[in-house]
């Protein structure tokens, strides 16, 4: 199955998409504006945006022929939570290991 977290992390795994998100964190923009910095067809950028939408990292507001994209940071929370949890698990294990070595207790 494809979970929301899967989609979020997959969306973040591409540098073009991260750059788009970083731009959008500063405020909404149209597709053409987002595409401008990249040496890539407008169509390709459009596809990247679609993947960001699939991950709910970006929302679209259509106004006439212009599509305004906005950043939605909500999905980042789950990604950050997962990472933080692994780091915590690891830190806990190291601490426990240290205790064992210092006190000589059984593991």
Partner DNA sequence: CATATATTCAACCTAATGGGTGAATATAAA
Partner DNA sequence: TTTATATTCACCCATTAGGTTGAATATATG
Query: Rule CB under 8 A: is residue 12 a binding residue for its own copies?
Result: yes
Kindly tell me which of 63 and 106 has the beta carbon lying closer to DNA.
63
d(CA 63, CA 74): 24
Q: Which does 76 bind (CB under 5 to 8 A by kind): its own copies, DNA, none?
A: its own copies
d(CA 99, CA 52): 45
Under rule CB under 8 A, which residues in 69-88 are in contact with its own copies? 71, 73, 76, 79-80, 82-84, 86-87
| Residues 76, 3, 54, 45, Cα dihedral to 10° | 80
Q: Which of 96, 61, 83, 107 is nearest to 5 (CA)?
A: 83
CB 34 within 8 A of CB 24: yes
> Which residue ranges make up the site for DNA (CB under 7 A)?
10, 13-14, 16, 30-33, 39-44, 46-51, 60, 63-67
Angle of the 4-12 helix axis to the 74-103 helix axis, nearest 10: 90
Kindly tell me which of 66 and 85 has the beta carbon lying closer to DNA.
66
Query: What is the contact surface with its own copies in residues (CB under 8 A)?
Result: 1, 3, 5-6, 9-10, 12-15, 18, 21-22, 25-27, 71, 73, 76, 79-80, 82-84, 86-87, 89-90, 93
């Amino acid at each position: 199955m494809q979970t929301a977290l899967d989609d979020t992390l997959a969306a973040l795994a591409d540098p073009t998409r991260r750059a788009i998100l970083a731009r959008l964190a500063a405020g909404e923009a149209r597709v053409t504006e987002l595409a401008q910095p990249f040496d890539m067809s407008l169509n390709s950028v459009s596809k990247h945006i679609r993947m960001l939408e699939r991950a709910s990292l970006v929302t679209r507001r259509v106004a006439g022929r212009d599509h305004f994209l906005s950043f939605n940071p909500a999905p980042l929370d789950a990604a950050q939570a997962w990472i933080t949890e692994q780091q915590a698990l690891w830190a806990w294990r190291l601490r426990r290991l240290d205790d064992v070595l210092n006190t000589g207790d059984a593991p």
